[in-house]
Amino acid sequence: MSKKKTPPVIQFTDVLGQLPEGSGDVLELYMLKKGGLVKVSGSEELYIVSDPVYIQQVMQKDTETYQRRGRYVDYLLRVLGRGLVVHNGSLWRNQRKRIQPQFHPKRIYSFIPLIIAETKQLLDRWEVAAQKNKTLSLNDDIMGLVLNMATHILFSKDFSGEIANTLNAVKIGNRMLRYKFILPDWVPTPANIRFKRALKRLHHNFRELITERSAATNKPDDLLSLLLEAQQQADSDITDEVLMGEMQTFLVTGHETTGNTLLWALYELCRHPEIAEKVYTEVDTLNGRAPELADLDSLPYCRMVIEETLRLYPPLWALIRQTMCETELGDYYIPSEANLFVSTYAAHRNPDYWPEPHRFDPERFSDENKQGRSKFAYIPFGIGPRVCIAGGLAMLQAHIILVMIAQRYRLLIQSFNPVNKDFFVTLKPREQIKVKLLRRGS
If one asks whether residue 319 binds ligand HEM (CB under 6 A), the answer comes out as yes
Nearer to ligand HEM, 377 or 389 (CB): 389
Interacting stretch for ligand HEM, rule CB under 6 A, among 276-284, 347-355, 374-382, 427-435? 374-382
Q: Are 135 and 414 in contact (CB under 8 A)?
A: yes
Q: Which is nearer to ligand HEM, 156 or 414 (CB)?
A: 156
323 belongs to the binding site for ligand HEM (CB under 6 A) = no
Among 24, 10, 20, 70, residue whose Cα is nearest residue 311:
24
**DSSP strand pairing (66-67 vs 319-323):** antiparallel
How far, in Å, CA of 57 to CA of 54, rounded? 5
- When binding is defined by CB under 6 A, the residue of 24, 291, 315, 357 that contacts ligand HEM is 315
Q: Do β-strands 339-342 and 46-49 pair in parallel, antiparallel, or remain unpaired?
A: parallel
Tell whether residue 394 is a contact of ligand HEM (CB under 6 A): yes
The percent of the chain in helix, strand and coil, each rounded to the nearest 5, is: 55, 10, 35
Q: Does 409 bind ligand HEM (CB under 6 A)?
A: no
In one-letter notation, the amino acid at residue 65 is T
Instruction: Say which residues have a Cβ less than 8 Å from residue 430's Cβ, sequence separation at least 6.
Output: 419, 420, 421, 422
Determine if 96 is a binding residue for ligand HEM (CB under 6 A): yes
Residue 145 or 437: which CB sits closer to ligand HEM? 145
Binders of ligand HEM in range 233-252 (CB under 6 A): 249-250
List the x/- string, 64-83, binding to ligand HEM by CB under 6 A. Answer: ----x---------------
Q: Which is nearer to ligand HEM, 98 or 436 (CB)?
A: 98
Which residues on adjacent β-strands are paired with residue 11?
A: 41
Shortest distance (Å) from residue 304 CB to ligand HEM:
15
Distance (Å, whole) CA 425 – CA 335: 26
Choose one: 30-38, 211-219, 375-383, 427-435; the region binding ligand HEM (CB under 6 A). 375-383
**By CB under 6 A, residue 388 contacts ligand HEM:** yes
By CB under 6 A, residue 254 contacts ligand HEM: yes
Among 15, 58, 79, 84, binds ligand HEM (CB under 6 A): 84
Contacts of 52 (CB under 8 A, 6+ apart): 36, 347, 353, 374, 376, 377
Among residues 139, 140, 178, which one has the least CA distance to residue 22?
Answer: 178
Rank residues 54 and 381 by Cβ distance to ligand HEM and give the closer one: 381
- 414: alpha, beta or left? (left if phi > 0; alpha if psi -120 to 50): alpha
- Name which position in 151, 248, 257, 323 contacts ligand HEM (CB under 6 A): 257
Of the candidate residues 166, 253, 323, 343, the single one contacting ligand HEM (CB under 6 A): 253
Q: Nearest approach, Cβ of 352 to ligand HEM (angstroms)?
A: 21
Residue 54's SS3 state is helix
Q: DSSP label at 60?
A: I
| Binding flags for ligand HEM, 262-301, as an x/- string (CB under 6 A) | ----------------------------------------
Please, which of residues 113-152 interact with ligand HEM by CB under 6 A? none
Q: Give yes or no for residue 85 binding ligand HEM (CB under 6 A).
A: yes
The strand order across the sheet containing 136-137 reads 136-137, 434-439, 409-413
CB of 20 closer than 8 Å to CB of 181:
yes
- Which chain residues interact with ligand HEM by CB under 6 A? 68, 84-85, 96, 249-250, 253-254, 257-258, 261, 310, 315-316, 319, 380-382, 386, 388-390, 393-394
